[in-house]
Every structure is written in structure tokens, then in C-alpha cells.
Structure 1
Amino acid sequence: MSLESVRAFLAEKAPDLAVIELPTSTATVAEAAAAHGVEPGRIAKTLSLRVGERVLLVVARGDARLDNRKVKAAFGGKASMPSPDEVQALTGHPVGGVCPFGLATPLPIYCDVSLKGSDEVVPAAGAINAAVRIAPERMAAITGAVWVDVCQDRNAEAAGAP
């Protein structure tokens, strides 16, 4: 069901994009990067967050980490992760295959500015072995995502800043 909903979404919004199905799991950033032959920063991971009563999706670089202060400032409260069952029920996608395409429930979608450093990213496509290759700006456009800055600053992190 999930893979089919992604295919239907892409057929309508981006018919030139093909879903890439692999024989191995791409459920983690490391598995996806190895399977697609890209560095982890080119994987676009989709995180499900609960802020109060709201659930939302944040798509970020695979090697980025959320900054709790930025998340709270951007979304108006402390974020927690919904359970895997709740994620599947809301998105229609299993954990490891969650993406902003073909959602079972309309959810707010945000793309972190960390994605803007790549000309192409590889988000999941509704299954733990499926993905697409897409420009970050295009992904945001076809999903109606809003750009936010909710991840830790990689330059500050590399320099040892907290």
C-alpha cells in the first residue's frame, strides 16, 4: 500500500521520477548511503515529530541532528517521537521508509535548510528498500513543504561548539 501511494503521488506530481527498489534494506541512513553509493549527507531522512497534539514531518540531511532549541522555537514546543505504530498509521509508511510523498494523512511537512547544500538527495519512498533521487528544492515544492532551520549547525559542531 505504502509504496503504491508514493508511486501514485509521484505519477501526479513528478511523473519523470522513478522509484528505485533495491534487494537490500535502506531503512537506516548508513544502509541507504551504502546501497545508493552516496555519502550519508545526501540521504534525506524524514523524521516524524509530535509537538503537543500535532504530528509533523521534518526532512533533513541524513547526517544532521536536530537541535532541540531550534525545534522548540520553530514549532512552539518540545518535540517527541511518535511510536512506530503511530508513525505507520499517520503516514502509511513503515519506519525506515517514511517519506513526504503519498501520505495516508495530510501532515505538515518541513524541509530543513541542511538539505540545500546538495543538488540531489535520496529520500525513502514508502518502503524500507525504496527511494527516489530528487533535488531538495523540487521535493519541497511538490510536497508543499516549508523550509526551516531546526538542525545543529554542522560548522559549529565540527569546531567543537555545543
Structure 2
Amino acid sequence: MSLESVRAFFATNAPDIHVIITEESSATVPLAAAAHGVAPEQIAKTICVRAGEIIALVVMSGTSRLDNRKFRDRFGAKPRMLGGDDVVAITGHPVGGVCPFGLPAPTPIYCDVSLLKFPEVVPAAGAVNAAVRISPDRMADLTAATWVDVGQDPVPDGAA
């Protein structure tokens, strides 16, 4: 059902974007990068968080992490990751296929500036082996997302 809701979303809002189905799983950032031939940074992972009473989706670069301080400064509360059952209930998508498209109910969506380094990113598309290729700005426009800076780039190997 989730994959179908994403396909319906694109059929209505952006018929030029096609969902890519792969034989192999793309449920994790490394698997998705390998399946789509891109760097892990170019995968647009979607996380479901609670900030106080607000539940939101944050889409960010596959290698970025939430920066607790930046998040708290922006939202006034520490981020709490939701469990798998809650994520499915809110998004309609399985863990590993969570995306900001085809949601069952309006949910606040935030895109982290870490995505802006790339002309094209690869977010999941409602299944553990489905994705789309899309520009970060178009993804934000289609999902009515708000741009935020709540990410933390990974520490390079060997750096202290």
C-alpha cells in the first residue's frame, strides 16, 4: 500500500518523476547508495522525530546526523526518534522505505541544508527497494517542506 501511495503522489504532483524499483534492498544508506550508484551522502534519509508535542519528518543527507543542540534551538525541544511501529502508523511507510511522499495525513516536513550540496538526491519511495531521483529544491517544493539547519556532518576518519 505504501509504494502505491507514493506512486499516486507522483502521478498527481510530478508525473515526470518515476519510482525506481531495485532487485536488491535499499533499506539502509549503504545499501541504497550501492543500489543507485551514488555516494552515501547523496541518499536523502527521512527520520521521524518527536519534539515536545510535535511529530515531524526530517530529510537529510545519508551521512549526516541530527545535531541535538541545533535541533533544540530550532524546535525548542530535544529530538526523540520514534519507534518502528509509530513510524509506520504516522507515515504509512515501512522502516527502510520512509519518505516524505504519499503520507496518509499532513505531517510537518523539514529538509536539512545538508541536501543542498547535491543537484540530485535519492530518497526512498515507500518500500525497502524503491526510491526516486529528485533535486533537493523540488523535493522540498513538492512536500511543502521547510528548510532547516539541524544536521551534523560526519567526522572525517582520523579527525579528533
TM-score by length of 1: 0.94
Match of 2:96 in 1: 96
Match of 2:36 in 1: 36
Mapped to 2, the partners of 1:146 and 1:62 lie a distance apart of 18
The alpha carbon displacement at 1:32 in A equals 0.1
Match of 2:52 in 1: 52
Mapped to 1, the partners of 2:97 and 2:126 lie a distance apart of 5
In the alignment, does 2:13 pair up with 1:13? yes
Match of 1:133 in 2: 133
Number of residue pairs aligned between Structure 1 and Structure 2 = 159
Q: Secondary structure at the match of 2:65?
A: coil
Mapped to 2, the partners of 1:55 and 1:115 lie a distance apart of 21
Cα 1:51–1:20 shift into 2, 3 Å? same
The one-letter code of the counterpart of 2:115 is L
The one-letter code of the counterpart of 1:35 is A
Q: Unaligned stretches of 5+ in structure 2?
A: none
Partners of 1:89 and 1:104 within 8 A in 2 = no
CA deviations over 1:7-33 (Å, ceiling 9, x no partner)? 011111110000000111100000000
Q: Secondary structure at the match of 2:66?
A: coil
Mapped to 2, the partners of 1:29 and 1:20 lie a distance apart of 16
Deviates more, 1:108-117 or 1:46-55: 46-55
Partners of 1:44 and 1:115 within 8 A in 2 = yes
Q: Secondary structure at the match of 1:10?
A: helix
Partners of 1:27 and 1:97 within 8 A in 2 = yes
Partners of 2:63 and 2:153 within 8 A in 1 = no
- Could you tell me the percent identity over the aligned residues? 63
The alpha carbon displacement at 1:76 in A equals 1.2
Q: Unaligned stretches of 5+ in structure 1?
A: none
Match of 2:66 in 1: 66
